Amino acid sequence: MGQRELDLPAMRKFATGTLVVLVAIYLVTFVPTDPDWPVKLLRAAAGAGIVGGLADWFAVVALFRHPLGLPIPHTALLPRNQSRVAVNVGRFIEENFLQTELILEKLKGSAISAKLAVWLLREGQSGYFIERLLQGVVQVLRADMPDKLMRMLSKLVRKLTGEAAGNPKVAQELSKLLQRGLKGETLTEIVEFLHETVDQNRGAVERLVRDNSRWWIASRLDRNASELIVNGLLSVLEDLAKPDSKLRKDFEDAAVQVLGDFTKTDHLQHVIENAAADYSGTVSFEHNLRALITSMKGKMADYLESDEAVSAIQTYIRQMAERLADDEALQQKLDASIADFAARMIPEARPYIGEFVAQTISGWDPDLLVERFETEAGKDLQFIRINGALLGFGIGGILFTVEHMIG
């Protein structure tokens, strides 16, 4: 329980005690059977103080509840008008505290970046900050991506893919990649794979020759023809697999020439554009993109949870804080960036903050609402009761004196 919660009951007792003292004074003045003028003055002042104290007690209590539990009209104003009060409080905060000019004025000269640097350099602060920050990022990464966000990403990727496919540099770079691939070890591996595949599928070649042969040609001739075709093809592939053979050199030169011509005439770019457009519109594109994003999110989350990532980020943050603490120019630049960000965000965020305050207050239980408002303002409201009693006491005494002097 905070100090304000402790002060409120004490102030209530003090205000009630003031009223009790006035009642006691008022009753004591009836003890003398023939009171003098000073006693009558005291009686009049005490009576007026009792009236003032009771009136202000009624006013204070009526703000929060029904006095004495009686359903008197226009009492229990706060809980009865909770929704309207919530809206008014939210609007009041929005219009009087969330003004761009006001917040920017507070930010000027506040040296917020320097204070942030000092805070991060305190023992353990940067570690705590990074730990909480990474926990939040990891939770976001491990959460399922909303369908709406996924559709936005798909649309963005399609747009970027289309722009990249339409860029002539992409066709040029792809041509260079294919030209490199048709030389050296890559081509050798491709040819050796083809050689192995053809050699292992001699039977398929034989069946192909037999199925397309004339009926009057003997099967032995078909087998010899298929054997001749396979051996001839294998011989060509073996020669092509040799990096220093003339066939290999002629093939490489021809391939480079064809790809170069293909690129110069924009045919390769058109192929890339059509292929990208066709693929980005398929269901498999959506599925593969979602799988890729999910995999990347998971790997990123795993890395951020590792000691290596935490240590690296902590070291970087501390180095930046040390630099920021010693560099006034950097501080001024960062302060200006913070102010610019605030100027852009405040107008956008202000209505949401006001609405959030209104919804929060509207959602409170009425008893909780009364308790919180009494905790914040109740102590000062008890002074209203005390002041009302004392003011009534003084005015009552003055009026009695004036009446006595006139009479």
Q: Does 292 reside within a domain? A: no
Looking at the fold, whether 374 and 257 belong to one and the same domain comes out as no
CB 276 within 8 A of CB 158: no
Phi/psi of residue 164, nearest 5 degrees: -70, -40
Looking at the fold, whether 165 and 266 belong to one and the same domain comes out as yes
Q: Could you tell me the CA-to-CA distances from 211 to 88, 204, 215, 242, 301 in Å, in that order?
A: 90, 10, 9, 34, 58
Q: Where are the beta strands (DSSP E) in 232-322?
A: none
Q: What per-residue confidence (pLDDT) applies to 1?
A: 45
Domain of residue 217 covers 147-281
Q: What per-residue confidence (pLDDT) applies to 135?
A: 86
User: Within its chain, how far is the Cα of 338 from the centroid?
Assistant: 17
Looking at the fold, whether 374 and 254 belong to one and the same domain comes out as no
Q: What per-residue confidence (pLDDT) applies to 6?
A: 46
CA distance 291 to 283: 12
CB-hemisphere CA count at 13 Å for 259? 19
Q: What per-residue confidence (pLDDT) applies to 299?
A: 92
Q: Is the pTM of this model over 0.95?
A: no
Q: What per-residue confidence (pLDDT) applies to 222?
A: 58
Q: Could you tell me the CA-to-CA distances from 281 to 152, 162, 212, 326 in Å, in that order?
A: 14, 11, 40, 54
Residue where one domain finishes, among candidates 254, 281, 308? 281
Nearest CA-CA partner of 310 in 89, 62, 130, 166: 130
Q: What per-residue confidence (pLDDT) applies to 24?
A: 93
CA distance 379 to 383: 7
Terminal CA-CA length for the chain: 57
Looking at the fold, whether 266 and 368 belong to one and the same domain comes out as no
Residues of the chain with pLDDT under 50: 1-3, 5-6, 215-216
Q: Could you tell me the CA-to-CA distances from 373 to 8, 268, 380 in Å, in that order?
A: 11, 74, 11
Tokens for 211? 């199925």
Q: Does 73 reside within a domain? A: yes
Q: Does 112 reside within a domain? A: no
Helix (H, G, I), strand (E, B) or coil at 125: helix
Q: What per-residue confidence (pLDDT) applies to 330?
A: 87
Count of domains forming the chain: 2
Q: Residue 340 class from Cβ within 10 Å (0-12 exposed, 13-18 middle, 19+ buried)?
A: exposed
Residue where one domain finishes, among candidates 262, 281, 300? 281
Q: What per-residue confidence (pLDDT) applies to 65?
A: 75
Q: Could you tell me the CA-to-CA distances from 225 to 201, 203, 206, 209 in Å, in that order?
A: 15, 12, 8, 8
Looking at the fold, whether 156 and 274 belong to one and the same domain comes out as yes
CA distance 402 to 80: 44
Tokens for 343? 């100027």
Q: Does 96 reside within a domain? A: no
Looking at the fold, whether 63 and 172 belong to one and the same domain comes out as no
Looking at the fold, whether 249 and 372 belong to one and the same domain comes out as no
Q: Does 184 reside within a domain? A: yes
Residue where one domain finishes, among candidates 251, 266, 281? 281
